[in-house]
Amino acid sequence: MQHTSMLAACMYGLAVGDALGVPYEFRLRDTFRVDGYLAYGTHNQPAGTWSDDTALSLASLHSLIANHGEVDVEDMRRRFADWLTAGLYTPDGQVFDCGLATSKALHTGRGCSGENSQGNGSLMRVAPLAFSDADDDTIGRVSAITHAHPTCMQACMLQVRLLRRLLDGEPIRTAISREGLGPIWRMPRREIRSDGFVSSTQTAALWCAANTTDFYECVRLAVELGDDTDTTACVAGAMAGIMTGLEGIPIGLRDGLRGHALLDLLVQTAATGCASQSQP
């Protein structure tokens, strides 16, 4: 795996964004303000609890580590099923949030591809692939474990390309432009949708990341858009984490993340595995 020094920043970034958003999921825009982790709320979880977004990102990372940085789609699918049935990759074994398409796909073994299956459930877990050599076809197959609609697969490919540009040190507005997208950052807030559609989430997350330079400001902006708060902030947080580095993520939010020892362990294993592979 590549860029493993930035892996912790990316994984903490997405997990902190997710956990900040969990208590506010489905809330209407401008009916609340974010001030650090909140206990209870929408899903009745203790403060600093991540949801399916982070759990499935950790499962994806674990699969990459177990397969020496390579994508094994069947292995990844099994780990997603382990999350759903046994609560692996959660802070306390509890699965309290699972998208319909993800649940259906993991129970049937087939990713959803209908017109009504253009949700953000694969976009939210794709960040670890930026640290692998996975090509577009492979990224599409990883999306298709749960989300096989071309719109979802293409969004995941785009997201990995954007994350790789950020890992290479490109400014985010340059990365957005070089991927052929317009100046998303100039869109007025009222035009930014924060529902569960994959294109809404991707645009909203890019808008937050391209309009802020501070990690917390980015994820707070994302959560305060309302509706699918955890996923918008998760996708934005992965980018903001890479942009600011681990030191840009407030230590209180990192330490306050329930179950972060699991995240630390996977990140350390990825770095160690990479180091040992690079030795003669």
Question: Which x/- pattern, by CB under 5 A, does the window 22-51 give for Mg ion?
Answer: -----------------------------x
Q: Are 183 and 211 in contact (CB under 8 A)?
A: no
230 interacts with Mg ion by CB under 5 A? yes
Q: 38's torsion region: left (phi>0), alpha (psi -120 to 50) or beta?
A: beta
Cβ pair 240, 212 in contact under 8 A: yes
> Which run of H or E residues covers position 203?
helix 198-210
Total residues contacting Mg ion by CB under 5 A comes to 5
- CB of residue 202 to Mg ion, shortest distance in Å: 16
**Dihedral pair phi/psi, residue 278, rounded to 5°:** -80, -10
Residue 90 to residue 208: CA distance in whole angstroms = 26
Candidate list 38, 48, 53, 227; residue touching Mg ion; CB under 5 A: 53
**Closest separation in Å from C-beta 103 to Mg ion:** 13
Closest-CA residue to 128 (of 66, 60, 54): 60
CB 145 within 8 A of CB 162: no
Cβ closer to Mg ion: 45 or 211?
45
Give φ, ψ of 173 to 5 degrees.
-65, -35
- Within residues 77-116, the interface with Mg ion by CB under 5 A covers 97
Minimum distance from CB of 53 to Mg ion (Å)? 5
Single out the residue of 24, 38, 45, 52 in contact with Mg ion (rule: CB under 5 A). Answer: 52
Residue closest to Mg ion, measured at CB: 51
Nearer to Mg ion, 97 or 227 (CB): 97
Nearest approach in angstroms of CB 70 to Mg ion is 27
CA-closest candidate to residue 151, choices 112, 185, 190, 191: 112
Phi-psi region of 124 (alpha: psi -120 to 50; beta: other; left: phi over 0): alpha
Comparison of 97 and 224: residue with beta carbon closer to Mg ion: 97
User: 83 or 215, CB closer to Mg ion?
Assistant: 83
Q: What are the structure tokens assigned to 252, written together?
A: 């209180």
Quote the distance between the C-alpha of residue 174 and its chain's center. 21
Smallest separation (angstroms) from Mg ion to the CB of 68:
29
Determine, following the binding rule CB under 5 A, whether residue 227 of this chain makes contact with Mg ion: no
Nearer to Mg ion, 63 or 201 (CB): 201
Name the residue nearer to Mg ion (CB basis): 53 or 224: 53
Closest to Mg ion by CB, 175 or 235? 235
Binding of Mg ion by 224 (CB under 5 A): no
Rule CB under 5 A: which residues touch Mg ion?
51-53, 97, 230
